[in-house]
Structures are given as structure tokens and as C-alpha cells.
Amino acid sequence: MKCIPTLLLLLNAFFAGAQSLYDLDQIVEIRIYFSQSDWDYQMDTAKAGSDSYLLADSVRVNGEVFEKCGVQYKGNSSYDAGRAKNPLHIKLDYDKNNDYQGFTDLKLGNGWSDNSMIREPLCFAILGQYMDAPRGNFARVYINDAYYGLMNNAESIENKFILEHFYSSKNVFVKCNPVSIGAGLGNGPNLAYLGNDPVSYANKYELKSDTGWSSLIQLCDTLNNHFGSFEQIADVDRFLWMLAFNNVLVNLDSYTGTFRQNYYLYRDHNRQWLPIIWDLNMCLGGFSVAGGNAGALTPTTMPTMSHTLHKSEAGWPLIQKLLNDPFYSKMYLAHLRTINAENFVNGQYKILANELHDLVDQAVQTDTNYLSTYDNFQASLSTHTPGSNGAGVSPGIFLLMDARAAYLQNVLSAAAPVISNVTVANAGQFGETATISASVTNATGVYLSFRYKKSDRFLRVPMFDDGAHGDGAANDGVFGAECPLLSLEVQYFIYSENLQTGAFSPERAAYVYYKIEPALAAAAPGELSINELTASNATGIENEAGKNQDWIELYNQTDQTLGLAHLFLATNPANLEKWQFPATAFIAPHEHLLVWADNLNLDLLEQHTNFALSKSGESLFLSDGTTIYDEITFGVQATDHSMSRCPDGVGSFVPTSSPSPRATNLCLSAAYSPATGPEIQVMPNPTTRLLTIKSQEPFSQAILYTSDGRLCQITDQGQMDLSSLQAGLYWLKVRFPDGRFALQRVGKLD
């Protein structure tokens, strides 16, 4: 049995939501088969020209076979036509609908400039503790069964990554990594404002979405010319984590270095820009040119690289603006201190580095295309070795980072605020207001940030030590603030600053946070209905990925917010537990809640099931796994039509050519009065006050709803008093003991 190293096991558990293709404890096996004997020449030619793909007969990933995949060489400095092993991009879905564990793009690096072969997986693992980041491990690659060599296997920043981390993928998406670097690019994709003409940006940035140049220009304009509004359009904290990571880990082939590249930007559903770091094979000093006033560094000068590098240089506007802002600069210092303390001062990075180094030792030793020597590989952690990065030397990872950790610990030694005893009072029920308090010392300001789901922005409010905000006595060092409990998982963190620096609790905030989980009554039978569905959506609403997919709408008939975590949706009565609502799912009073039936099985801006609906017709069940709360059986569905309850929540289903997702159903005229149960009489109708209900059989319940499905009255008697209701049209639903019902329109007069 294989023994998984302890730290690798812990890190794989930390990233439990990710796929095993990138688990740190494994080396993936990838075999590429070309029928073309001159495949290398053809891919070199494509790289020099149109950068197109060469069609492979098949690609095998851990033994799973995929036919008609596209393969191309990738990379800038890491690629050379005369090099024995070049970076590869494999597109599994190039000519067929292929994917491996949901992944369609494989990005394989050749370890250029990294004699250790571990820089990228190691640094991605560190980065992933503080912000959304791709994962990386290793792959043994074979071409036509000949060992091509050991390669770094890095998760591709594509729509799948964006969707799963940022809850949508149809918005503006930008790659900040020019195809050609150096000449003609000036300061590269540094977020400088270059005017309103997209042409000025086109050679620095690559638009990955269909549109977005105007949004990117707005970002650059706001950063440079209207910085006071920058926080309105950018996740400032995430940008600060990016800059702090680059600085601590001497990651200079990045925004922080001379080329200001190797990152992505995504503008999410909140119209907020988010950065994603990419390409870490030259992290930990593998690239030496800091640019600007710092110029080129050496293994001797890298450990003492300024922790505020480029703070005063206009060529790095993101750094200049953020680090010269008194509020943000202290957050940045806190992030520097956290990354350094949690990985380098305590030596934790060495444990992981040694485990990764041992993992790939044999694969490197047998790699005849390895770009260095096995002796250099063995020495690369503790010794400076010859480099292929233009500087002539590759820093020994431990030599560099032990010295850098000591330097940063010294320059970041200013006494920070101390946050302790974080406490929540009155956190019991949904809809109530909790008080969050904490003991804080050595602080000039304390702030609470909270949100209601991961796709929300954090709202920052001040905390007080005045005795009036659930903080105990005034001036006792305990700070408090109120937080309305408007979801089933309220996420929060605390930030404090003084004149020198800042501190977070938890320290990895906002990527890691505290939680409050209020209680909420679970929906009971009769309170919740399947209200509408579309099983063939071609031109209607789009999901977060920009796709037209099937959807299901539920309706809450009550005046109460209801929890949904115990409920399931299914299309087979023999498997009622097909898809369960997330633990945090709820539905507000009289809300129309939309659930996507699109096979994504994700909790994004809305919930997504692990099944789709059949256009040919089938049944749909809402249940708690045992008791069926509601169901519908429908036949063949016309494209862009829906099955809708009329009225909402209580009526029978009717086909409509006008779907109304997330809104009141577009029902028929007032004359529409289906009756599925025994005949009933309602007198007088319309009425000014009393309504008498007569039936051929005894009924169990009569329920009166507004025309849009809101509950008005319930009775088990034969009469209702409508005197308190406004004039208008209402629906009366009469239920019978065997489950049948009759529906009747009722008019109320003044």
C-alpha cells in the first residue's frame, strides 16, 4: 500500500473540493499518440505560425483513453524549437466532447529554469491557502510510448475554474500575459490607463470573453485617475494577497517584476474585478529581474528585496496606489506577515518541498530530456545551481527563503493589534440580529466584515468600544457590532489597525472566515410547491455559465422563510434522493426560487442539480426522501415553453408559451376555473363579506389565496369572512381527504 506523506495528505484535505487530477501526492501518467512521424516538426511549425493544434490519434490520462485531442507547444521563454522537451497544451475536447474528471485542458510545463522541478506545485499549494488559485502536481508524459519526461501539471485557468471559484463564467475575462514579452510592450499589462482606444491595450492583454475592452479600460482609468472609487469595482483584499504573495516568495515573473504579467482578471457578477495568479515555475527567485529602481537581483540580494518594492514607481500603478493608501497598506503588511509566518519562519514549506522532491526523484533520474542534470536536481533545494533563466544561477530554495523569512520577520516586527475572544451573542434564529464582539489591544480602529454567501461581497462596518454595541462596558478593550442573520451561513472576519500595521482574525481572511449558522424552520408538506418548469430551453434565460438550460421553479406559499436542506428533487420515485438542496438553501416568503436542472451539481448564484429534465416528458418529485411534498408528470414539451401552476403554488399545471422564471406565472383569464375534485359551489360570488362553500362530498380544508398565490385564509368550515380583504380577484382551493382538490375564482367587492 502506498504511504501518502503527512503534509501532502493535509493539503489535499484542505483543497477537498478540487479534483484528484491535481492531488499533490500523485504523478499523473499521460500518453500521447500521433500517427504523424514528424509531430515535433509540425508542432514547431504551428508554434512559429498560427499556433494551431496538431490532432493526436488519442491521449491517455491515467489509462483513460480520449480520441481526437488537440496538442500544441506553449510558452514563451520556456519554449525553444531546439529544446528536447517543450511545454504542452493538450485540448481533450478539440474534436470530441471529451473531459477527464470535468477537465478539458491540460497545461504541462517543462520545468525550464527550475532544477528542482517543484517550484510550481509547491507555490500553488502555498498560494491556495490565501486566495482562489489553480492547483498543480506532476505528470510523466509519453509520446508514442517513448518517455518524453517529467512535467509540471498545472490546472488551466478556463471557464471551469472561473465558474467553480467565482460563481459565474459569462462575464469579462482577461489574460494579462502577452504572447511576446519585452520589445514593444513598454510596461506590459501593468494596468496603466492608456486612453479609451482598445487598440492601445490589445498587445498587452488578451480578452478571453467575447466582449470587455471598455470594462478593462474602466478598471485602468479608475485605478489611476479615480482611486477613491477603486474598491467599488475591485476586490482590493484579493489584489493585496496577490502582491503580498509575489513579494514574500520573490515571484518576479509576475505583476511585481519587470514584465508585470502572468495573472488573469475576472469581472464577476458583482461587477467586481478579481485577480488570479498564474505560471509559478519561476517563483522563489527563478526569475531575477525586478525591474524599475531594483533592476536585476541575485541570490545574494533577493533575500533582502524590499517588502514595499515599487511603492514609489508609477510603472506599477497597482502597487503604487495600494501601498501608498494608509488603510490598504496596513492590510498588505498583515498579509506579508501571515504568509511569511505560516510557511517560512516556521519551516513548514521545507516539509512539503522535501516530500515533493522525493516524490519526483525517480521520474527525474530517468528523464533523458530533463533540462538540467540529476546532480543539479539533487542539490537544488539547499544549493545555488546553474540556471537557464538568463541569470546564470537558480537559487537554492532553502538558502533563499530561510534568509528571506528572517529579513521579513525583522522588517515586519512592528507591534500589530491583537484580536482575541471572538464571540457571537444571539446567534440562534434566522432573521434575528446577532452581536459579534472581540477583545482587541494596541488598535486605533476595529472593523467587522460580513456576507451572507460566498458569492457576495463582504460588507465592512466599524466596531465600537462604547458600551452600546454588545461590547460590554465602555473602554474595556472589547469591541462590538451588530450583524443581521439573513442567511443560514453568515460569514465574517475582523480587521484591526494601528498607526504602523494591521491584523486579521482569522489571519487568512477574507479567504478564510468565521461562520454563524442560524436555525430556521424546515419547510413542511403543503408549504412549498413545484411552481413551474422548462424542459427545453433554447432561447430563454441563461445560467451563470451563459448557457440556456432546463430549470425548475419552487414557490413558498407561506409568510415564513423556510429551510430547504432536508429536501430533494428527483425524476424517479425509486430514487427520491437524487439531488439534495445545499445545507444553506432557504426560500423567502412567497418567493419564486429557481433551481437549474443542468447536471452541474453546483451551488453557485443559484442551485444546480445533478440531472436535467427530459423534453420527451417524465415526472418530477419534491420530497424529503420519504414523503412527497409535490410532484408533476408532464408529456412532450415544446421548446421554450413551460409547465406552470395557475395560480402560483396552488393551481393545476398548464402549458404556456410565456415562461415566467423567478416571477408570478402568467396565468389565464379570470374565467379559468379547473376542477380536479368533486363539484363545489361558492356563494355569493362575488361577495362583499361572507363566502359560503358547498360541496358534494365533505372537504378537509378550504384555502384562499391572492391572485398571485399568497396565502390569505384557511378554514375547515363552510364559510369564510372576506370583509378585511381588499377588493379584487382571489383563488379558492378546496382540498378533499383523498388528496383531490377543486379550484375556483372568487371576487371580493368593496
Q: Phi/psi at 409 (nearest 5 deg)?
A: -60, -35
CA distances from 598 to 218, 362, 547, 601, 750 (A): 34, 44, 9, 8, 48
- Give 579-615 pLDDT, tens digit per residue: 999 999 999 999 999 999 999 999 999 999 999 999 9
Question: Quick one: 343 and 430 in the same domain?
Answer: no
> Domain for residue 740, yes or no?
yes
Mean pLDDT of 560-576: 97
% of the chain at pLDDT higher than 90: 81
User: Residue 296 carries which side chain, given as an amino acid letter?
Assistant: A
Confidence of residue 12 (pLDDT cuts 50, 70, 90): low
- Give 308-357 pLDDT, tens digit per residue: 999 999 999 999 999 999 999 999 999 999 999 999 999 999 999 999 99
Last residue of a domain, one of 411, 437, 462: 411
Last residue of a domain, one of 391, 411, 431: 411
Question: Quick one: 162 and 29 in the same domain?
Answer: yes
pLDDT greater than 80 at residue 14: no
> Domain for residue 104, yes or no?
yes
Last residue of a domain, one of 349, 377, 411: 411
CA distances from 688 to 337, 673, 691, 703, 734 (A): 73, 21, 9, 18, 20
> Domain for residue 253, yes or no?
yes
Question: Quick one: 496 and 537 in the same domain?
Answer: no
Which domain range does residue 588 map to?
528-656
Question: Quick one: 690 and 586 in the same domain?
Answer: no
> Domain for residue 668, yes or no?
no
- 267-271, 523-527, 742-746, range with the lowest pLDDT: 742-746
CA distances from 101 to 21, 97, 138, 467 (A): 7, 13, 17, 54
pLDDT greater than 80 at residue 53: yes
Question: Quick one: 718 and 646 in the same domain?
Answer: no
Q: What is the model's pLDDT at position 388?
A: 66
Q: What is the model's pLDDT at position 8?
A: 58
Question: Quick one: 117 and 230 in the same domain?
Answer: yes
Mean pLDDT of 434-461: 97
pTM: 0.88
- Give 498-519 pLDDT, tens digit per residue: 999 999 999 999 999 999 999 9
Mean pLDDT of the chain: 92
Cβ–Cβ < 8 Å for 191, 220: yes
- Give 120-135 pLDDT, tens digit per residue: 999 999 999 999 999 9
**Cis, peptide link before residue 742, omega less than 30° from 0:** no
Cβ–Cβ < 8 Å for 479, 471: yes
Confidence of residue 184 (pLDDT cuts 50, 70, 90): low
User: Residue 702 carries which side chain, given as an amino acid letter?
Assistant: A
User: Residue 455 carries which side chain, given as an amino acid letter?
Assistant: S
Which residues neighbour 574 within 8 Å (Cβ) at sequence distance 6 or greater? none
Mean pLDDT of 229-247: 98
**742 three-class SS:** strand
- Give 692-749 pLDDT, tens digit per residue: 999 888 888 888 887 666 778 889 899 999 988 988 888 888 888 876 777 777 888 8
pLDDT, greater one: 487 or 186 = 487
Question: Quick one: 628 and 488 in the same domain?
Answer: no
Q: What is the model's pLDDT at position 728?
A: 85
Domain CATH number, residue 591: 2.60.40
Question: Quick one: 504 and 545 in the same domain?
Answer: no
Return d(Cα 11, Cα 682) in angstroms, integer: 67
> Domain for residue 149, yes or no?
yes
Q: What is the model's pLDDT at position 16?
A: 45
Domain CATH number, residue 721: 2.60.40.10
- Give 374-424 pLDDT, tens digit per residue: 999 999 999 999 986 545 789 999 999 999 999 999 999 999 999 999 999
- 43-57, 611-625, 648-662, 706-720, range with the lowest pLDDT: 706-720
Mean pLDDT of 279-299: 95
> Domain for residue 1, yes or no?
no
pLDDT greater than 70 at residue 11: no
Which residues neighbour 90 within 8 Å (Cβ) at sequence distance 6 or greater? 30, 32, 56, 59, 69, 70, 71, 105, 106, 108
> How many domains does the chain divide into?
4
Question: Quick one: 315 and 407 in the same domain?
Answer: yes
A 10 A CB-CB count for 559 gives: 9
Question: Quick one: 620 and 563 in the same domain?
Answer: yes
From start to end of 412-539, where are the E strands?
A: 418-425, 433-441, 445-451, 459-462, 478-484, 490-497, 502-505, 514-516, 528-534
Q: What is the model's pLDDT at position 18?
A: 41
Question: Quick one: 380 and 432 in the same domain?
Answer: no
Question: Quick one: 495 and 634 in the same domain?
Answer: no
> Domain for residue 42, yes or no?
yes
Return d(Cα 116, Cα 370) in angstroms, integer: 11
- Give 21-48 pLDDT, tens digit per residue: 999 999 999 999 999 999 999 999 999 9
Mean pLDDT of 473-490: 97
> Domain for residue 665, yes or no?
no
Which residues neighbour 185 within 8 Å (Cβ) at sequence distance 6 or greater? 178, 203, 204, 259
Q: What is the model's pLDDT at position 695?
A: 87
**Cell numbers of 339, please?**
504568509
Which residues neighbour 357 within 8 Å (Cβ) at sequence distance 6 or greater? 116, 117, 118, 380, 381
Cβ–Cβ < 8 Å for 88, 79: no
Mean pLDDT of 71-91: 94
pLDDT greater than 50 at residue 674: no
Q: What is the DSSP letter of 376?
A: H
